[in-house]
Amino acid sequence: MWKKAVQLGTLGYVLGVAIGVAFFLAGSNEGLGKALPYILLSGIPGGVSMGSSVIYGVEKWSIARATVTHFLITFACFYLISFALGWFRFGDSLFLIITAAMVIGYFVVWLVMYLAYKRQIRKINEGLKKIKSGRRAD
């Protein structure tokens, strides 16, 4: 699990840095040297979010627990980095909009996963019923 977390985290970090570079190039006239700390820090939320996604593979956890845990990890990391980089301040409208978007997004993820697993379980149960009724006929 740790190996997969590191692999996913590395990919997420690289994607986060790429997004950071794109945002920097789109909105700044400063040299790349001054932006290096900003760019390097911007990869951390992506790395943490993708790396921590391995918690969805913890079989003992419910979908709700994994989703809430992943949300809290991602939310805390994103906001710590966001405040450090000065993207926004606590209470700004952007802060509230992004928070609402994250909550809605995570609810949608939970709902889709819940419905998908519910469908899989229904199919498994139907298969078990067929097997069970087939044995009775023998």
pLDDT tens digits, 57-67: 899 998 889 99
Backbone region of residue 112 per phi and psi (left: phi > 0; alpha: psi in -120 to 50; beta: other values): alpha
pLDDT tens, position by position, 10-53: 999 999 888 888 877 777 666 667 778 888 888 999 999 999 99
Residues in the chain: 138
- Write the CB contacts of 83 (distance below 8 Å, at least 6 apart in sequence): 89, 90
Contact by Cβ (8 Å): 7, 50: no
Burial 97-114 (b: 16+ CB within 10 A, else e): ebeeeeeeebeebbeeee
pLDDT for the residue 37: 80
Share of the chain above pLDDT 70, in %: 92
pLDDT tens, position by position, 47-88: 999 999 999 889 999 888 999 999 999 999 988 988 887 777
| Residue closest to 68 by CA, chosen among 113, 121, 98 | 113
Beta strands in the chain (DSSP E): none
CA distances, 45 to each of 15, 16, 30, 114 (Å): 10, 7, 23, 25
| pTM assigned to the model | 0.74
